[in-house]
Amino acid sequence: MRRFLASFALSLLASTAFAIEPPREKERWTTLAIDELTIYSNANDFTTRSVASSLVRLRDTLSIVTKLKVRSPLPTRVYIFSDQRGFAPYCDAAIGRSDQLSGLFLSHPDGNYVLIDGSARSVDRVVYHELTHYFLRNTISGDVPLWFNEGLAEFYSTFKEHNDTVDVGLPVEEHIAWLRTQSLIPLKDLFAINRESKEYHEGSRQGVFYAQSWALVHYLMIGNPERREQLGTYVGLIANGRTIDDAFRTAFHGTYDDLERELRKYIRAFSMSYIRYTLKDLKAVEVPAPKPLARDTLLVGLGDLLMHSFSPHFGEAETFIAAAMKANPSNADAYAEMGVAKSWQRQTAEAETYFEKAVQLGSRDASPYVLYGDSILRRLDAGIRRGAGAPSPDIARARSLFRKATELDPHSAIAFSGLGATYAMTADDPAAGIAALERSLALAPSECNTIYNLILLEVRAGLRDDAAKRLDALARLSDDPEMVRHARENLYIADLNRANALGRAGKHAEAAEIMKSVAAQTTNEQLRADLKEQLASLDRVETTNVQVTDFQRAVEAANTGRFQEALAMIDALMPKITEPEMLAAAKDFRAKVTEYIAATKPKKKKG
């Protein structure tokens, strides 16, 4: 079982020297929630609503332009500060600097965090860029070409909202300037660039890789309507495992040189257009007006932000959360958040005490139940690794917490993932666990831990082919080779179960072939040694079966009066027999045949 929520390594537990004070008692903060977005703001209401609207419209526009059903299974918390003075301390806490920044996007396994300087003229491009990555990652379950991933994010980074319209694909002037003065990367090479390529690590989004990827996406999306449909075909083929060259030929019906000539001509053009949509086109929902934010809720939200910095600030976060508890002793979220702080500092017992309190307070938010369940699973996972097993009452408790979370939030991918994970830790019927994990993947197709646990359960359920397809997806999506290796080893277990079934059915040769294949591929030395013994045993059984068949043929020959033939057959067989009982039976049979031949041999007449 793999845990599925964020957990920080010990090296991250030591915060840098830093101090930040909670907001003043009288400081005005507001909030609004729309779909997966929760806004915390001390900017004016116009700014707050404008930023919220821009983020929602970006998501809606991405759905319209790309024809993708954009999903956002995890919450996104947006913190809008009225000015740079309020923005800078939290930005410094998050990444260690704030100079020349007006926006910041932090992505974590349990949610996104966006920081915005409300005094800036617009949302920072980096926020739109990273949100596009996030929406794309949670919409397409397969891998996508790196040039497309970065090019599309840059395409949307210039997103602009007006009163009743939005603009998409506005030119990035620095990219145009760069491309008109620098050499382009040959398209065949651009399409082959991955995250290990030197071109990807130029250190600046103004490098040729980002600029050319943006220009190509811009041309395919706006510059040539025919190519736009081909782009969708190409991305789909790559996501389904087709090679780069094969997908290109199939989708674009031409050569790299053909498309490169079109791109060069497009870059040299005097100007580039963009797309304008009305709110009616987007079927935009109304963004609600901000409401006053209770101080205890604000303190919990800011404490959560401080813990999700690249180097968590637990001391300051706990100060904020303790102040929230003092302001409102019935705030279940405050106890849940304190549980998170203790859990990440490996103070498991304290963490679960706070989680239990949050649940007792009857929170109507799914989060405390998910966090509590996750804490139990991580504790049990550690015990299993030590060989201690997973106590049934703890499993049952975690399962009930996750089930409650799914009832409170039927769209929570992590709640369904946790529910499914409880079945991966037991010998219970895996059907319910498989159903929960499939529901989670429908909400968040790219979550590797969910895929991993689903492979385990499908193997147990005998769904070997389904598990193999999941493994292909996991290998494409995961950056954890150990996770992929363990999943593959579980698939080998399914292969061995099939081999054993074949062996029991007498199909020893087929069983042996499967075992040989697994022995050649597994990285588990103990399994390889066990297979060697099993193969030797199968070989002995198969040899014995052949000898039994040959023995029976000799007996049939004797029964039909072909005694000399039977004698020749048994004489050829006996030196090969190693099984004592069979050898004794063969000797007895030979003696009887020899005796019968002697008894029936015609006697010579006396002269």
The per-residue pLDDT for 146 is 87
Q: Among the listed ranges 80-84, 201-205, 341-345, 460-464, which one has the minimum average pLDDT value?
A: 201-205
Residue bearing the bigger pLDDT, 209 or 504: 209
Instruction: State how far the Cα of 415 lies from the Cα of 75, in Å rounded to an integer.
Output: 13
The per-residue pLDDT for 387 is 64
Going from the C-alpha of 375 to that of each of 323, 334, 535, the distances in angstroms are 24, 16, 43
Q: Could you tell me what percent of the chain has a pLDDT over 70?
A: 90
Given a cut of 70, whether residue 6 has pLDDT beyond it is no
Given a cut of 50, whether residue 2 has pLDDT beyond it is no
Asked whether residue 196 is assigned to any structural domain, the reply reads no
User: Is residue 438 helix, strand or coil?
Assistant: helix
The predicted model gives 32-54 an average pLDDT of 92
Domain assignment of residue 571, given as a range: 546-600
Would you give the distance in Å from CA 404 to the centre of its chain? 24
Express each pLDDT in 412-457 by its tens digit: 889 999 999 999 988 899 999 999 999 999 888 888 999 999 999 9
Sheet with 291-292, edge to edge strand ranges? 103-108, 111-117, 76-81, 37-41, 30-34, 291-292
Residue corresponding to tokens 């239990």: 356
The predicted model gives 284-295 an average pLDDT of 90
Asked whether residue 513 is assigned to any structural domain, the reply reads no
* 45-66 and 146-157 helices, crossing angle to 10°: 140
Backbone φ and ψ of 91, nearest 5°? -65, -40
Cβ proximity of 230 and 251 under 8 Å:
yes
Q: What's 163's DSSP letter?
A: S
- 33: which strand partners? 38
The per-residue pLDDT for 392 is 85
Given a cut of 50, whether residue 3 has pLDDT beyond it is no
pLDDT band, residue 605 (cuts 50/70/90)? low
H or E segment and range at residue 421: helix 413-424
Domains in the chain, number: 1
Instruction: State how far the Cα of 54 lies from the Cα of 122, in Å rounded to an integer.
Output: 9
Residue bearing the bigger pLDDT, 2 or 130: 130
* 413-424 and 448-460 helices, crossing angle to 10°: 40
Asked whether residue 264 is assigned to any structural domain, the reply reads no
DSSP string for residues in 365-415: SHHHHHHHHHHHHHHHHHHHHTT----HHHHHHHHHHHHHHHHH-TT-HHH
The predicted model gives 537-543 an average pLDDT of 74
Asked whether residue 468 is assigned to any structural domain, the reply reads no
Instruction: State how far the Cα of 600 lies from the Cα of 569, in Å rounded to an integer.
Output: 19
Asked whether residue 11 is assigned to any structural domain, the reply reads no
Instruction: State how far the Cα of 208 lies from the Cα of 183, in Å rounded to an integer.
Output: 8
Given a cut of 80, whether residue 148 has pLDDT beyond it is yes
Q: Among the listed ranges 39-48, 78-87, 352-361, 472-481, which one has the minimum average pLDDT value?
A: 472-481
On average, the pLDDT of the chain sits at 84
Q: Could you tell me what percent of the chain has a pLDDT over 90?
A: 34
The per-residue pLDDT for 604 is 62
Asked whether residue 588 is assigned to any structural domain, the reply reads yes
pLDDT band, residue 603 (cuts 50/70/90)? low
Going from the C-alpha of 488 to that of each of 29, 93, 374, 492, 527, the distances in angstroms are 50, 40, 25, 6, 13
* 448-460 and 431-443 helices, crossing angle to 10°: 150
Given a cut of 60, whether residue 7 has pLDDT beyond it is no
pLDDT band, residue 97 (cuts 50/70/90)? confident
The predicted model gives 254-261 an average pLDDT of 92
Sheet with 165-168, edge to edge strand ranges? 160-161, 165-168, 275-278
Residue corresponding to tokens 């081909």: 230
DSSP string for residues in 292-356: E--HHHHHHHHHHHHHTSSS--HHHHHHHHHHHHHH-TT-HHHHHHHHHHHHHTT-HHHHHHHHH
The per-residue pLDDT for 595 is 86
Given a cut of 50, whether residue 548 has pLDDT beyond it is yes
Instruction: State how far the Cα of 159 lies from the Cα of 80, in Å rounded to an integer.
Output: 18
Would you give the distance in Å from CA 182 to the centre of its chain? 37
The per-residue pLDDT for 70 is 67
Cβ proximity of 139 and 443 under 8 Å:
no
The per-residue pLDDT for 17 is 45
The per-residue pLDDT for 16 is 42
Asked whether residue 590 is assigned to any structural domain, the reply reads yes
pLDDT band, residue 94 (cuts 50/70/90)? confident
The per-residue pLDDT for 9 is 31
The predicted model gives 314-331 an average pLDDT of 95
The per-residue pLDDT for 182 is 84
Given a cut of 60, whether residue 163 has pLDDT beyond it is yes
Q: Which two tokens stand for residue 11?
A: 């090296």
Going from the C-alpha of 506 to that of each of 221, 332, 509, 539, the distances in angstroms are 60, 61, 9, 12
Q: Which two tokens stand for residue 477?
A: 């999506």
Asked whether residue 579 is assigned to any structural domain, the reply reads yes
